[in-house]
Structure 1
Amino acid sequence: MAKLTSKLIVAAALVATAGCAKKRPEVLPPAPGETVAPTDGAGTGAQTGTGVVPGSREDFQQSVASDTVNFALDSYDIDPQARSILDSQAAWLQRYPNVRVTIEGHADERGTREYNLALGDRRANAASNYLAARGVSAARITTISYGKERPLALGSDESSYAKNRRAVTVVLQ
């Protein structure tokens, strides 16, 4: 009985330590003094001179006019300012064809929860459709509506409302 118990304890310890073993990384870093061939950097972890990885969320933030498109009250129309923002986003997304994005639709606090979720959905889809019309694959774009649940600006004044009526493009990593 004592032998069986000790064998079970040893087997359990071996199983537990085997689960903790480190996995070999897919890409090994270069050895000291070894040179690396330059790449386009998309998804490889390569950095630009500014320390930003090309194709990353930070690169998107720095490269596009804005990640946010604002809308008029009870509207989901893409105006000329929104077009220029979405055009810069489309150009960036075409440079990095493996990057996926989510477009978040938002609304101000006025109206019912259901109405604002529907309006946020229409705003996100309007931005998504515009990007798709500019050559970005629709399969790379997902949309979600937060309605009035995630305000950017707190307050019940027109300035706050205007900031909260938006669609935000978020690069997935």
Structure 2
Amino acid sequence: MRTPAILLVAALSTLSACDQEAGWSVNSTGTFGNATTQNTGIMTGALDATVALNQRFAAEVPNTVNFAFNRSDLDPAAQAILRQQANWIRQFPEVRFRVFGFTDLVGSEGYNYALGKRRAEAVVAFLGTQGISRSRLEALVSFGKTRPLVNTPGPEVLNRRAVTEVSGFVKGSAPDLNGKYAEVVWRDYVKSAETPHPQNQIIQTQTSGSTGQ
């Protein structure tokens, strides 16, 4: 059962989305319908489940890799991070992911958009070599130089990045995404019971030691 606070947040988010939807114009970026999508996500629980899993993903593995200036190839450090991501992703076959590409502020907007996309594509391609199906990588998105972490006109490695995020669940895997997330949590709970508790290992060690004496 949702708490009053959660219901209030959902209600406010829905009202905000409705304000955008009314008279929202169709444009080349394809944003028409986003407000309806958000409303549906809140009401079905899909948004809650996706946010929760994305927070967990970012807390348990690095979600960002960085690039050399004007490059889209992955150095050894980036590859090591993506292996960690792939190990996490393999544990959750129900989950889809999206990769966002970014650049620093050097160069034109058009050039950087293409560079950001190549960076996102490089991450997707590498995850594919680690056994992750391309069907689970929902989209490749480039923000180019429009969303810098460090607002400086010069080269900045922190801005030259690709970020992996949870975007939702595999279509057709379950109609109730909150229930699907509950399945993920339950599976982890059952798996944790298979591993001996550290306290039991300490007791066993102490018992073995006293027997040997």
TM above 0.5:
yes
| Distance in 1 of aligned mates of 2:118 and 2:71 | 9
Identify, as 1 or 2, the structure richer in helix.
2
User: What is aligned with 2:162?
Assistant: 167
Shift of 1:157: 4.2
Q: Report which of the two structures shows the higher radius of gyration computed on alpha carbons.
A: 1
User: What is aligned with 1:61?
Assistant: 58
Question: Quick check: 2:104–2:154 contact (8 Å CA) kept in 1?
Answer: no
| Percent identical residues | 41
Gaps of 5+ in 1: 1-24, 27-44, 46-51
User: What is aligned with 1:149?
Assistant: 146
User: CA deviation digits over 1:53-110, x for unaligned, max 9?
Assistant: 6xx112111221x110000001011111001100000000000011111100001111
| Letter of the 2:103 counterpart | A
| Distance in 2 of aligned mates of 1:172 and 1:70 | 21
**Which one of the candidate residues 109, 113, 119 is aligned to 1:113?**
109
Aligned-partner SS, 2:71: coil
Gaps of 5+ in 2: 1-42, 169-213
RMSD: 2.4
| Distance in 1 of aligned mates of 2:58 and 2:141 | 20
Question: Quick check: 2:106–2:154 contact (8 Å CA) kept in 1?
Answer: no
User: What is aligned with 1:80?
Assistant: 76
Give aligned pairs, total. 123
Tell me the TM-score normalised to structure 1 length. 0.65
